[in-house]
């Protein structure tokens, strides 16, 4: 399952409107505070002299609101006709670009800070990296151009979950309802602790018991079988 890319021009517009709107909204509050206006006042006398900067802050809030409308438009637009993102739309350097849906089946081996970058652009990849890989020294190639020294960097073969010799398998938890039971217990216990009534202490005890039972049962739940990456 792959997502869709947001529009970059709309994203930039959203960023700049949000950046400008946030500063226009909150920076005038410094002046208002120095002028004696306290926080969380919903009305005040016009003679206090706070009208100007409150008006500026209000304008900034509207700018932020417009930026959020642009973001929502961008998100809805991308759902209908956005470009498909693929597995590595931003040409990332990290190993999380991305892992399989169940996480890595085996622990990936990384011999440099940018092992995934090396895998894509190293000897087994499809070209030289646009910039030298971090931790790799530049050497002059046969054509006189500087290239990244990859002699000490092993590629991360099958980084997305391939079984590599010598790797320890990662525990793959199965689907479970116990976390939901624990969350319900903690919610009930939290309610009982917050409100100091006679019966709420009983709720706190019941919620704590539910959470403990769920945690105990969850800890003994058998793990699922390790998925085979070749099935993807």
pLDDT, position 92: 75
Contacts of 135 (CB under 8 A, 6+ apart): 112, 113, 114, 153
Cβ atoms of residues 218 and 173 within 8 Å: no
CA 201, chain centre distance (Å):
38
Name the DSSP letter for residue 109: P
**Cβ-contact 85, 8 below 8 angstroms:** no
CA atoms within 13 A on the CB side of 116: 15
Paired with 147 in beta bridges are 139
Q: Evaluate whether 159 touches 108 at the Cβ level (below 8 Å).
A: yes
Specify whether the CB–CB gap between 50 and 37 falls below 8 A: yes
What are the tens digits of pLDDT across the range 8-61? 999 999 999 999 999 999 999 999 999 999 888 888 888 899 999 999 999 999
Say how far apart CA 172 and CA 182 lie, in whole Å: 20
The string of pLDDT tens digits covering residues 121-163 is: 766 555 555 555 444 444 444 444 444 443 333 344 444 444 4
| pLDDT of 78 strictly over 70 | yes
Cis, bond preceding 98 (omega within 30 deg of 0): yes
Please report the DSSP string for 4-40 in residue order.
BPPPHHHHHHHHHHHHHHHHHHHTHHHHHHHTTPPSS
Of the two residues 2 and 61, the one the predictor is more confident about is 61
Give the pLDDT score at 175.
76
Q: Are strands 146-148 and 138-140 parallel, antiparallel or unpaired?
A: antiparallel
- The C-alpha torsion from 90 through 123 and 95 to 10, rounded to 10°, is 0
Instruction: Considering only residues 64 and 202, tell me which one the structure prediction assigns the higher pLDDT.
Output: 64
pLDDT at 42: 82
SS3 at position 156:
coil
Confidence of residue 231 (pLDDT cuts 50, 70, 90): very low
Q: What is the pLDDT of residues 91-119, one digit of tens each?
A: 777 776 566 667 777 777 777 777 777 77
SS3 content of the chain, % helix, strand, coil (to 5): 45, 5, 50
Q: Residue 221: what pLDDT?
A: 80
Query: What's the pLDDT score for residue 12?
Result: 96
Give the pLDDT of residue 195: 82
How far is C-alpha 20 from the geometric centre of its chain's CA atoms? 24
Q: What is the pTM of this model?
A: 0.51
122: Cα within 13 Å, side-chain hemisphere: 20
């Amino acid at each position: 399952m792959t997502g869709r890319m947001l529009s970059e021009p709309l994203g930039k517009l959203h960023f700049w409107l949000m950046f400008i709107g946030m500063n226009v909204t909150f920076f005038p509050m410094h002046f208002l505070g120095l002028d004696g206006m306290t926080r969380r006042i919903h009305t005040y006398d016009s003679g206090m002299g706070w009208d100007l900067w409150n008006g500026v802050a209000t304008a900034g809030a509207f700018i932020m609101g417009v930026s959020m409308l642009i973001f929502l438009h961008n998100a809805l637009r991308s759902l209908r006709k956005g470009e498909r993102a693929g597995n590595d739309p931003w040409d990332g350097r990290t190993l999380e670009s991305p892992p399989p849906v169940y996480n890595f089946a085996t622990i990936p081996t990384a011999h440099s800070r940018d092992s995934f970058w090396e895998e894509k652009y190293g000897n087994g990849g499809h070209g030289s990296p646009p910039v030298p890989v971090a931790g790799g020294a530049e050497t002059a190639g046969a054509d006189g151009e500087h290239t990244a020294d990859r002699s000490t960097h092993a590629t991360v073969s099958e980084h997305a979950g391939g079984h590599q010799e010598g790797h320890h398998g990662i525990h793959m938890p199965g689907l479970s309802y116990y976390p939901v039971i624990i969350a319900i217990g903690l919610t009930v216990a939290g309610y009982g602790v917050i409100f100091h009534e006679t019966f709420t202490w009983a709720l706190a005890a019941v919620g704590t018991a539910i959470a403990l039972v769920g945690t105990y049962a969850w800890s003994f739940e058998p793990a699922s079988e390790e998925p085979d990456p070749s099935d993807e």
